[in-house]
């Protein structure tokens, strides 16, 4: 019998993780409602002035997406680490990078994608409209996978450590900064009517760069955590 | 073991490195004191007053060398960390560990002197400018590396995990360096470069370079001193001491 190919392994990991997430739908719902509630707190705290809301909206929504990604990072490897499945996964004949990519993709589907889909609605709360809503959704679509990939490095490095929640935030948030700047910048520049192409291109560059390096760093970090 | 007859790896053993570091520290400390003294003298008493910024510019003699060191030390730390990962060598990880606090200190110093310079010339202690922000992120990275190492009890994992994080963070160094060229920032562009003649008086450049050399010497001295502490802390064995031979140390293990 021949070994499953890399694609089959990738598909297997994605399918398994999506299935597991579907069985714990409340976990997913939590991160979605977290985003909605945090985004709704800002107009209550800052006041309902439409011009102010439109000014802070892109930044607030992006920071919210960042925090949602951060809070869900614990789910990425921890459960598999605790019940020993992760150790078995390191033994598969396919490259570990493939497994990491699969897990990160499944993580993004349940933590990043809902935020992307919700963002037009949340954007309306902040008085964004027309083009800028589209740019907001597009920037999140480009940016949230990057966040998941960078976050995976931090999640793997802090696997099983005490106080890993705070530690992962300290490690990962500085690395999120470029994505935050370009993502929020894209929406702000489209609001100002300058055009958002430059920022979106830079977001795309961040995505490709992290796609090229982050899975490898995560794989190395997983091996270090489990040796 | 090598064709030149010199054992290049003699000092890669912590036991051999410890006394060598002890002998080197006084020399580097003295050099640091002299160079920083001379640099400050030239900077404060010899260099001319700037026609635009008056005497406020003189903080450049601390600010620019500190900022340079913050980036140099990060790259050097990451290089040691990468070497450690590649060769699986403990002393390399120890060097990375010993460099991190000094790098964090210079990053903080660069930010502090920058804000002291910014207040009289820009009218603000802090602006959210690309270079300032990326330097602040560098400080966060240093802190993250130190904390990550501190929160892992298993030394081997602590070494390797913080090495991976240090290598990931190298991305930020070119961003800091080129930020003034890539973005239109309030922070002024580089006044000194390898390719063009400096846009400042010769005495100013001299003072800055002497200060940088002084900071280098200081960094080496402090790193070596910290390295000695790290070695003693990690290799504490009953037989470990000044008079213990390698043989005894090996037996004590």
Residue A115: closest CA among A140, A142, A133? A140
Nearest chain B residue to A206 by CA: give it.
Answer: B171
pLDDT at position A226 over 70:
yes
Ramachandran angles phi, psi of B50, nearest 5°? -75, 140
The residue that leads in pLDDT, A195 or B139, is B139
Separation between Cα atoms, residue A180 and residue B62, nearest integer Å: 32
Give the SS3 label for residue B9.
Answer: coil
**Model pLDDT, residue B58:** 84
Q: What is the pLDDT of residues B146-194, one digit of tens each?
A: 999 999 988 889 999 999 999 999 988 888 877 777 776 677 766 665 5
Q: What is the pLDDT of residues A53-100, one digit of tens each?
A: 888 888 899 999 999 999 889 888 988 899 888 998 888 888 899 999
Separation between Cα atoms, residue B161 and residue A163, nearest integer Å: 16
Nearest chain B residue to A170 by CA: give it.
Answer: B144
Q: Average pLDDT for residues B141-149, to the nearest whole number?
A: 93
Domain ranges of chain A: 6-226
Residue B144: closest CA among A75, A225, A157? A157
Q: What is the pLDDT of residues A173-210, one digit of tens each?
A: 999 988 998 898 888 888 888 878 888 999 999 999 99
Contact call for B164 and A220, based on CB within 8 A: yes
B151 touches chain A (CB under 8 A): yes
Separation between Cα atoms, residue A167 and residue B146, nearest integer Å: 11
Nearest chain B residue to A227 by CA: give it.
Answer: B157
Q: Which residues contact B42 (CB under 8 A, 6 or more apart)?
A: B203, B206, B207, B210
pLDDT at position B17 over 70:
yes
Judging contacts by C-beta atoms under 8 Å, the chain A residues touching residue B156 are: 227
H/E run at residue B101: helix B90-122
Judging contacts by C-beta atoms under 8 Å, the chain B residues touching residue A182 are: none
Separation between Cα atoms, residue B184 and residue B91, nearest integer Å: 42
Who among A163, A167, A174 is closest to B140 (CB)?
Answer: A174
B250 touches chain A (CB under 8 A): no
Weakest mean pLDDT among A151-155, A163-167, B2-6, B203-207: B2-6
Q: Which residues contact A111 (CB under 8 A, 6 or more apart)?
A: A28, A31, A68, A69, A72, A75, A144, A148
Ramachandran angles phi, psi of B81, nearest 5°? -65, -40
E strands, chain B, are none
Q: Is B95 exposed, middle or buried (0-12, 13-18, 19+ CB in 10 A)?
A: buried
B143 touches chain A (CB under 8 A): yes
Average pLDDT, rounded, for chain B: 84
Contact predicate A67/A37, CB 8 Å: no
Contact call for B165 and A153, based on CB within 8 A: yes
Question: CA A3: distance to chain centroid?
Answer: 32
The residue that leads in pLDDT, A26 or B28, is B28
Q: Dihedral through CA A42, CA A44, CA A46, CA A50, nearest 10?
A: 90
Domain ranges of chain B: 20-49+58-190+204-236
pTM over 0.90: no
Contact call for B140 and A225, based on CB within 8 A: no
Contact call for A224 and B165, based on CB within 8 A: no
pLDDT at position B244 over 60:
no
**Which percentage of chain B shows pLDDT scores above 90?**
44
Where are the alpha helices (H) located in chain A, listed in sequence order?
Answer: 6-23, 25-46, 50-72, 74-82, 85-89, 96-125, 131-157, 164-191, 197-226
**Model pLDDT, residue B203:** 82
Indicate the length of chain B as a whole number: 253
ipTM of model: 0.86
Q: Average pLDDT for residues B124-130, to the nearest whole number?
A: 82
Q: What is the pLDDT of residues A117-170, one digit of tens each?
A: 999 999 988 888 788 888 999 999 999 999 999 999 999 999 888 877 889 999
Q: Which residues contact A71 (CB under 8 A, 6 or more apart)?
A: A31, A34
Give the SS3 label for residue A39.
Answer: helix
User: In a mutagenesis test of the A interface, which of B134, B167, B168, B183 is the best target, namely the one with the most A β-carbons within 10 Å?
Assistant: B168
Q: What is the pLDDT of residues B44-99, one digit of tens each?
A: 888 877 777 777 788 888 999 999 999 999 999 999 999 999 988 888 999 999 99
The residue that leads in pLDDT, B229 or B51, is B229
A 139-198: CB under 8 A from B: 153, 157-158, 161-163, 167, 170-171, 173-175, 177-178, 181
- Got the DSSP string for A44-92? HHH---HHHHHHHHHHHHHHHHHHHHHHHTHHHHHHHHHTTHHHHHTTS
Q: A–B: how many Cβ contacts below 8 A?
A: 53
pLDDT at position B250 over 80:
no
**Model pLDDT, residue A208:** 94
Q: Average pLDDT for residues B10-23, to the nearest whole number?
A: 84
Contact call for B151 and A167, based on CB within 8 A: yes
**Model pLDDT, residue B59:** 86
Nearest chain B residue to A161 by CA: give it.
Answer: B152
Separation between Cα atoms, residue B73 and residue B169, nearest integer Å: 13
The residue that leads in pLDDT, B54 or B41, is B41
């Amino acid at each position: 019998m021949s070994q499953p190919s890399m694609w089959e392994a990738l598909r297997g990991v994605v399918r398994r993780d999506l299935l597991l997430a579907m069985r714990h739908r409340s976990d997913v719902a939590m991160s979605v409602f977290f985003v909605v509630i945090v985004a709704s707190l800002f107009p209550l705290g800052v006041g309902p002035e439409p011009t102010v809301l439109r000014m802070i909206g892109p930044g607030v929504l992006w920071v919210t997406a960042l925090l949602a990604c951060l809070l869900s990072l614990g789910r990425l490897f921890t459960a598999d680490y605790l019940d020993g499945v992760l150790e078995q996964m390191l033994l598969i004949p396919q490259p570990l990078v493939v497994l990491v990519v699969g897990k990160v993709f499944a993580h993004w589907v349940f933590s990043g994608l809902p935020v992307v889909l919700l963002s037009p609605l949340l954007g309306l709360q902040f008085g964004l409209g027309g083009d800028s809503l589209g740019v907001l959704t597009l920037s999140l679509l480009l940016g949230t996978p990057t966040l998941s990939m960078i976050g995976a490095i931090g999640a793997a490095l802090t696997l099983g450590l005490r106080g890993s929640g705070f530690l992962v935030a300290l490690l990962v948030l500085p690395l999120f900064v470029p994505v935050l700047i370009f993502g929020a910048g894209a929406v702000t520049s489209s609001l100002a009517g300058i055009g958002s192409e430059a920022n979106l291109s830079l977001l795309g560059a961040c995505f490709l760069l992290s796609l090229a390096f982050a899975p490898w760093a995560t794989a190395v970090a997983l091996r270090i955590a489990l040796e | 073991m090598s064709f030149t007859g010199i054992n290049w790896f003699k000092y890669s053993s912590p036991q051999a490195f410890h006394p060598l570091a002890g002998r080197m520290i006084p020399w580097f400390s003295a050099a640091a004191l002299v160079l920083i003294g001379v640099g400050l003298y030239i900077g404060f008493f010899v260099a001319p007053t700037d026609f635009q910024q008056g005497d406020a510019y003189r903080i450049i003699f601390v600010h620019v060398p500190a900022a340079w060191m913050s980036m140099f030390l990060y790259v050097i730390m990451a290089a040691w960390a990468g070497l450690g990962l590649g060769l699986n060598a403990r002393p390399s990880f120890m060097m990375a560990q010993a460099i991190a606090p000094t790098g964090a200190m210079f990053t903080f110093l660069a930010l502090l002197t920058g804000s002291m310079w910014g207040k009289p010339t820009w009218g603000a202690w802090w602006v959210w400018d690309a270079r300032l922000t990326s330097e602040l992120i560098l400080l966060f990275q240093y802190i993250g590396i130190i904390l990550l190492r501190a929160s892992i009890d298993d030394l081997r994992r602590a070494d390797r995990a913080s090495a991976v994080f240090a290598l990931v963070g190298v991305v930020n160094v070119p961003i800091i360096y080129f930020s003034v060229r890539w973005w239109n920032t309030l922070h002024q562009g580089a006044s000194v470069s390898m390719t063009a003649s400096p846009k400042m008086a010769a005495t100013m450049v001299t003072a800055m370079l002497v200060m940088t050399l002084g900071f280098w010497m200081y960094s080496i001295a402090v790193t070596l001193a910290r390295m000695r502490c790290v070695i003693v802390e990690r290799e504490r064995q009953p037989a470990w001491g000044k008079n213990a031979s390698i043989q005894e140390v090996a037996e004590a293990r």
